Amino acid sequence: MQYPEPIAKLIDSYMKLPGIGNKTATRLAFYTLDMDETDVKDFSKALQATKDDLHFCSICGNITEADPCEICTDKTRDQSQILVVEQPKDVMVMERMHEYHGLYHVLQGVLSPIEGKGPEELNIKSLIKRLQDNPAVKEVIVATNATPEGEATAMYLSRLIKPAGIKVTRLAHGLSVGADIEYADEMTLFKAVEGRTEL
């Protein structure tokens, strides 16, 4: 027996989300069916608003309602630092920490030849232009993930930026707080030793 078409379409829609398989999509579809009509309408409006009201900041590439975004227009932030991240969600993570007060630049991904993502597909050209137009920037902090693609992107950016005389740093990687050494993989241990600090 097949599901009625509206449920089947909803299941297919949920399956387009990352990490959602057929069983989870089916459960979500039937949960949606049981939701209050007002909640369903609010959910639908929220989905549409993310497409209608949000766009990328023309300066940093972060998601925003106003262009340029509130971080780029905030003159109290440290104008000498730009922290480069892979995705807009990484900006949100850094902001929740309340320790970094500089600017951001969102690449919209990492270099990945397998997925057909080269430098042209990333938000790199605008970063270089930003650095050329703003002599106040003294340091670029590369905060890509510690994956092969993230590391390759970090090295690529370093080779592009360093000749301009701008300091390029990388977020430290290694053991997380509370981790046991015996359970850490070799790369994590290597990064922890490499990024050691004096006590």
Gap between the Cα atoms of 27 and 129, Å rounded? 47
DSSP tag of 138: -
In tens, the pLDDT along 139-188 reads: 999 999 988 999 999 999 999 999 999 999 998 877 777 777 777 778 77
Gap between the Cα atoms of 60 and 10, Å rounded? 35
pLDDT of 173 = 79
Cβ atoms within 10 Å, residue 154: 22
Architecture category of domain 5-53 in CATH: Orthogonal Bundle (1.10)
Tokens in use for 21? Answer: 């398989």
Residues sharing a CB contact under 8 Å with residue 48, sequence separation 6 or more, in sequence order: none
pLDDT band at 198 (very low <50, low <70, confident <90, very high): low
Going from N- to C-terminal start, the domains of the chain cover 5-53, 76-170
Mean pLDDT (whole number) for 21-31: 97
pLDDT band at 39 (very low <50, low <70, confident <90, very high): very high
The runs of H, that is alpha helices, within the chain are 5-15, 22-34, 37-52, 88-97, 125-133, 148-161, 186-194
Do residues 26 and 11 lie in contact, with contact meaning Cβ atoms separated by under 8 Å? yes
Phi, psi dihedral angles at 144 (to 5 degrees): -75, 160
Question: What class, spelled out in words, does domain 76-170 have in CATH?
Answer: alpha beta
